[in-house]
């Protein structure tokens, strides 16, 4: 058991609970009840955590631990932890010095901001045992920290087995239902220390309010504490007695979780959340909301490969309403601010995902076909930030001061990887979008033919046996960036139509495997290249400077493995080798730190420690997509790729 391993319980609305195996909160995002008042936005931390103490005739022992400044861990509950598992939900077993074992369980209900906790005796020792639980409350923005103040309202409203607190008028109230006894003992706890935030150069000290305690008789049976945000989705659950609520939540969640074939399939559902009357995908927990690019990449695995085609349709229909000048937003800010249209590739990934969704479902949705046509037409005519089709049919994009590709880090107002001009993966996506649009408007095939010919002529770098990363750099004709990056893989695998085949494709994959592949996924820049950084860490400036300068991105395992299988003749033997050689070690690498999930990034150098957002949608999505494809002799994208090889200039999409 890795005591620093992190667990996640998501509610399907954008809210969640999260923490570490040892119970020590090291992030300001580690929380017991974090709810989205306007799913998936307006998220607030309502209940941060708790202290718990077991009382017996032999003495008292803590089964919780907190971090306080300066570098103090107290009480010592983590030292009594005997085991931890996330299957089927986070479960801790504490073994006390007198032989008593306490099993603590935590689960979040899907579809409501409700977290249910229980404690029960297990093993040998005296049965005359009690439990005291003291929750810590804040009511703050999810990205902030909380500090002692006179405005916090400790006043409880007690009714039967429920207690209601409304710390701040502009945040949802907290309702606690228990089968124990509540005692009002308001007090501030000062100087909680969040080590991960300190390492990230952010505010890492917080004060929390403790309104009172819940006391339980463990000898009488299971102790139950249900915490909920006082929002409409929670109302039917918090109206029930605590014992009944626990039984109903446990029954519902056990049935739901047992329906998934694998841990990856179960993890996939954590990222699919409600937005208005539709659905969207949270890019990652704990700090991301829904992003366009991330959504369309991730849903290929989370929804299409996962068999959630209705969810895929709903997500695409929701996003299709936001096409503007050929572009889709890359980000919906919190607080109702206008959507941000600042990505060249998000709209193109949308086209690919529409195609694969309709291909897999056999459906015909005119609204989605209209959106694809609007995107391709808008890009061809020219739109924001210099995005336009050039005379050669390729897509030019970029202006100083704006990061349009997925390599979008900035430091001190400067783009680390501006990639202005004609980036290689943008061309692969653009030509795929043209082929997809040609199913409705055949005229786009002629444009795709012209762009494909230009791509073949312009992007091959014979000296290095791979593709240039950008041509016409900064819109200067006949210039090229020869940096060895993984973006070129999308010209060989990972998309419905491939742009490079034969010996050149094999040389590209071999070059990427030698210089970029790690057990954690592909590096974003090859070692030895100018600007390469092997470790991701430090304050925001240092982290952002390393983000795409070598740092490993596991989502890129999708196009890499697709390309590798393809250049190895796409045989059953090649798929099996890819599964055991690449996919299984990749999933196992991240399982040690985020069981059932994959992180956003990892260090470029061994031991390739996971970094960044610990639970990332497109990392899980691409692993799930690969798992599905490598286990099957059939995949729509692979069949289309082979058709493209046979008739590269006239491969036709099917809706």
Q: Given a cut of 70, is residue 637 above it in pLDDT?
A: no
Q: Which DSSP category does 614 fall into? A: S
Q: Given a cut of 60, is residue 655 above it in pLDDT?
A: no
Give me the mean pLDDT over the 252-261 stretch. 95
259 CB-contact burial (10 Å; exposed 0-12 / middle 13-18 / buried 19+): exposed
∠ CA 214-216-219, nearest 5°, is: 170
Span 14-63, pLDDT tens digits: 999 999 999 999 999 999 999 999 999 999 999 999 999 999 999 999 99
What stretches of 174-234 show up as alpha helix (H) in DSSP? 195-199
Span 330-374, pLDDT tens digits: 987 766 678 899 999 999 999 999 999 999 999 889 999 999 999
Give me the mean pLDDT over the 556-578 stretch. 97
Q: Which DSSP category does 556 fall into? A: G
Q: How confident is the model at residue 128 (pLDDT cuts 50, 70, 90)?
A: confident
* Domains, the chain, ordered by start: 6-240 (2.70.98), 263-646 (1.50.10.10)
Cα-based distances in Å from 415 to 321, 378, 404, 418, 544: 30, 26, 10, 5, 10
Q: pTM for this one? A: 0.94
Query: What pLDDT sits at residue 124?
Result: 59
Span 292-325, pLDDT tens digits: 999 999 999 999 998 899 999 999 999 999 999 9
Query: What pLDDT sits at residue 277?
Result: 82
What stretches of 183-308 show up as alpha helix (H) in DSSP? 195-199, 235-238, 242-258, 263-269, 292-299
Least confident of 152-161, 349-358, 419-428, 638-647: 638-647
Q: Ramachandran region of residue 268, left (φ > 0), alpha (ψ -120 to 50) or beta? A: alpha
Buried b (16+ CB within 10 A) or exposed e, 314-344: bbbbbbbeebeebbbbbbbeeeeeeeebbbb
Q: Given a cut of 90, is residue 127 above it in pLDDT?
A: no
Give me the mean pLDDT over the 108-115 stretch. 97
Least confident of 137-146, 562-571, 613-622, 635-644: 635-644
Q: Which DSSP category does 230 fall into? A: S
């Amino acid at each position: 058991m890795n005591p620093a391993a992190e667990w996640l319980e998501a509610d399907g609305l954008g809210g969640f609970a999260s923490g570490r195996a040892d119970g020590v909160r090291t992030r300001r995002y580690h929380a017991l009840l974090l709810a989205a008042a306007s799913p998936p936005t307006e998220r607030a931390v309502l209940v941060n955590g708790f202290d718990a103490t077991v009382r017996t005739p032999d003495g008292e022992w803590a089964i919780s631990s907190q971090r306080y400044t300066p570098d103090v861990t107290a009480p010592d509950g983590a030292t009594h932890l005997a085991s931890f598992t996330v299957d089927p939900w986070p479960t801790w077993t504490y073994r006390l010095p007198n032989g008593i074992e306490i099993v603590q369980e935590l689960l979040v209900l899907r579809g409501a901001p409700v977290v249910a906790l229980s404690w029960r005796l297990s093993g040998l020792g005296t049965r005359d045992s009690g439990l005291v639980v003291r929750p810590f409350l804040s009511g703050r923005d999810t990205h902030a920290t909380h500090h002692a103040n006179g405005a916090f309202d400790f006043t409880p409203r007690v009714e039967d087995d429920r207690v209601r607190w409304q710390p701040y008028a502009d945040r949802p109230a907290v309702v606690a239902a228990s089968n124990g006894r509540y005692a009002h003992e308001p007090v501030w706890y000062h100087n909680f220390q969040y080590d991960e935030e300190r390492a990230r150069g952010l505010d890492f000290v917080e004060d929390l309010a403790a309104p009172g305690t819940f006391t339980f008789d463990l000898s009488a049976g299971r102790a139950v504490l249900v915490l909920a945000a006082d929002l409409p989705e929670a109302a039917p659950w918090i109206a029930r007695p605590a014992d009944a609520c626990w039984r109903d939540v446990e029954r519902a969640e056990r049935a739901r979780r047992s329906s998934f074939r694998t841990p990856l399939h179960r993890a996939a559902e954590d990222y699919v959340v409600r937005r208005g009357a539709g659905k969207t995908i949270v890019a990652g927990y704990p700090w991301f909301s829904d992003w366009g690019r991330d959504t369309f990449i991730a849903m290929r695995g989370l929804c299409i490969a996962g068999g959630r085609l209705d969810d895929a349709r709903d997500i695409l229909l929701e996003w299709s309403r936001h096409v503007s000048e050929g572009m889709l937003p890359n980000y919906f800010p919190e607080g109702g601010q206008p959507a941000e249209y600042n990505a060249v590739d998000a709209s193109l990934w949308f086209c690919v995902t529409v195609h694969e969704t309709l291909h897999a479902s056999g459906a015909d949705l005119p609204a989605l076909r209209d959106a694809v046509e609007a995107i391709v037409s808008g890009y061809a005519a020219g739109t924001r930030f210099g995005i336009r089709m050039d005379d050669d049919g390729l897509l030019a994009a970029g202006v100083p001061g704006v990061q349009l590709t997925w390599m979008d880090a900035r430091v001190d107002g400067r783009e680390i990887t501006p990639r202005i001009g004609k980036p290689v993966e943008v061309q692969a996506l653009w030509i795929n979008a043209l082929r997809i649009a040609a199913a409705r408007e055949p005229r786009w095939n002629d444009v795709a033919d012209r762009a494909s010919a230009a791509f073949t002529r312009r992007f091959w770098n014979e000296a290095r046996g791979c593709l240039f990363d950008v041509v016409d750099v900064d819109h200067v004709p006949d210039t090229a960036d020869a940096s060895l990056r993984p973006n070129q893989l999308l010209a060989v695998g990972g998309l419905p139509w491939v742009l490079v085949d034969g010996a050149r494709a094999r040389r590209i994959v071999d070059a990427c495997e030698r210089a970029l592949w790690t057990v954690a996924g592909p590096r974003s820049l090859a070692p030895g290249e100018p600007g390469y950084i092997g470790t991701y860490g430090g304050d925001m400036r240092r982290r952002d400077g390393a983000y795409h300068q070598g740092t490993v991105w596991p989502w890129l395992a999708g196009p890499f493995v697709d390309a590798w299988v393809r250049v190895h003749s796409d045989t059953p033997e090649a798929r099996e080798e890819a599964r055991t050689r690449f996919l299984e070690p990749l999933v196992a690498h991240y399982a040690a730190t985020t069981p059932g999930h994959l992180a956003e990034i990892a260090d470029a150098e061994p031991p390739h420690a996971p970094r960044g957002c610990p639970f990332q949608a497109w990392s899980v999505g691409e692993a799930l997509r690969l798992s599905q494809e490598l286990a099957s002799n059939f995949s729509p994208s692979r069949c289309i790729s082979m058709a493209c090889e046979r008739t590269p200039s006239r491969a036709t999409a099917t809706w």
